[in-house]
Amino acid sequence: MRIFLLCVSFVYSSICLFSQSELAKRNGFKDIKLGSSVDSVKGAVLLKDFIENKEFQAKLWEVEHNDYQKIGTVEVKHIELKTYNGLIYEINVSTAKDPQVMKALEKSFGKAIYSIRDERFYWRAPDTLSLVYKGHPKKIELSYRSVPVRKQMFADKGKKIEEIADDF
């Protein structure tokens, strides 16, 4: 019995590691990569400058390009990028409501974790990125978030506080 449980836990952890590494390997949506320069994205148009979480200077971009109009047979309605210092830290993709999207995500990245509180599914690649799936009555929202760029945002905030403190 112990050997059986050990084998089951080994297989489960192997699957989890594979799916996390696949998520980290892809690092974004199609050829839009988290942590890369927004200049590398085809069809990116600046919408506005804004303050993220009431703390960080960021920019919101919209992407309109033929390469991003579909995921397989599912229509992509809208793609937004958020950048900090020119680096992409969040990719938001809105698609038509289709169960194939969730099935494809689970095939690629493994079984999702469901958050009852947020009513969302998510996948994580530790220290790299997270992917959040949120279903609505008429659409699906996918949100890719970069861990390294967000850490850089907080590190830069700490540097600014130190500069102000040193100025006293």
pLDDT tens track for 55-70: 899 999 999 999 999 9
Tokens 């992409």, residue located: 88
HSE, side-chain direction, 13 A CA sphere, residue 5: 2
What mean pLDDT is predicted for residues 78-106? 96
pLDDT at site 10: 43
65 CB neighbour count, 10 Å cutoff: 13
CA dihedral 116, 21, 29, 41 (to 10 degrees): 140
pLDDT at site 1: 53
pLDDT at site 96: 94
- % of residues, the chain, pLDDT over 90: 75
Indicate whether 13 pLDDT > 90.
no
Indicate whether 8 pLDDT > 50.
no
Inter-residue contact 32 to 41 (CB < 8 Å): yes
Report the distance separating Cα 131 and Cα 125, nearest Å.
9
CA 157 to chain CA centroid, Å, is 22
pLDDT at site 55: 87
pLDDT at site 156: 87
**pTM of the full structure:** 0.83
36/154: higher pLDDT: 36
pLDDT at site 12: 43
pLDDT at site 32: 97
Q: What region does 27 belong to: left with phi over 0, alpha with psi -120 to 50, or beta?
A: left
What mean pLDDT is predicted for residues 85-103? 96
**68 CB-near residues (< 8 Å, 6+ apart):** 29, 30, 32, 43, 76, 79
Report the distance separating Cα 136 and Cα 87, nearest Å.
29
